[in-house]
């Protein structure tokens, strides 16, 4: 595991390990920060040759070295970190050298999905489920926190109930689909829901 410490704009390597080409999500990097970083959103940047990949650190202050920067053996691997507040760059560090990417044993080229862009990483930390809100709307939740909701209608103009139990076609109510507050509401079909969400 790598341990890096950002002291204002300096990034120091406190612990390192050898890295090999072809590795995917095996080299963890933990970041520590001096008080100047308090209240900043942090992003790590890894670079090897012409390839550079950014990773959101979040509250845990750690991430894996992206596989894209480990594809070219014999080159030096670098890391940096920057902090933002309100989307504006506040504090970047200098680059810290993590070592040379060693050639890894491999049976051949494998297809790997690219590391998500920063916006995709941020989006994946947002909503994680859809559910019916207490007022009968369709809500997007992050854990127990309601992020957004939208009203929807069922047949006959009454509020509908949407079920997420793997059933397709017309959604017929089953035990557990309704709460007492939803008595009298009609289920809606998938096509009706698609029309409402347009």
Domains, in order of start, for the chain: 2-104+116-124 (2.60.40), 129-197 (no CATH)
Give pLDDT < 70 ranges for the chain: 107-113, 118-129, 142-143, 152-191, 193-194, 196-198
Taking only the tens place, the pLDDT of each residue in 63-79 is 999 999 999 899 999 99
Please give the C-alpha separations between residue 158 and each of 65, 140, 162, 179, 183, in angstroms, as whole numbers: 51, 21, 13, 16, 11
Please tell me the predicted confidence (pLDDT) of residue 151: 74
Please tell me the predicted confidence (pLDDT) of residue 167: 40
Please tell me the predicted confidence (pLDDT) of residue 179: 52
Taking only the tens place, the pLDDT of each residue in 173-187 is 455 554 545 445 556
Please tell me the predicted confidence (pLDDT) of residue 171: 44
* CB contact set of 38 (below 8 Å; sequence gap of 6+): none
């Amino acid at each position: 595991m790598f341990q890096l410490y950002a002291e204002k704009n300096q990034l120091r390597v406190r612990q390192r390990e050898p890295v090999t080409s072809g590795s995917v999500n095996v080299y963890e990097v933990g970041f520590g920060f001096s008080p100047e970083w308090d209240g900043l959103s942090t992003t790590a940047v890894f670079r090897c040759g012409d390839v550079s990949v950014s990773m959101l650190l979040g509250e845990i202050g750690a991430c894996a070295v992206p596989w894209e920067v480990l594809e070219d053996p014999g080159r030096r691997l670098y890391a940096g970190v920057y902090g933002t507040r309100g989307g504006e760059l506040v504090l970047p560090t200098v680059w810290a050298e993590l070592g040379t990417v060693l050639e890894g044993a491999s049976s051949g080229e494998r297809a790997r999905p690219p590391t998500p862009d920063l916006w995709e990483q941020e989006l994946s930390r947002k909503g994680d489920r859809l559910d019916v809100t207490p007022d009968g709307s369709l809500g997007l939740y992050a854990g127990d926190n309601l992020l957004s909701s939208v009203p929807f209608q069922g047949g006959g103009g009454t509020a509908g109930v949407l079920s997420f139990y793997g059933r397709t076609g017309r959604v017929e109510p089953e035990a557990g689909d309704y709460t007492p507050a939803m008595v009298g509401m009609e289920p809606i079909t998938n096509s009706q829901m698609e029309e409402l969400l347009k």
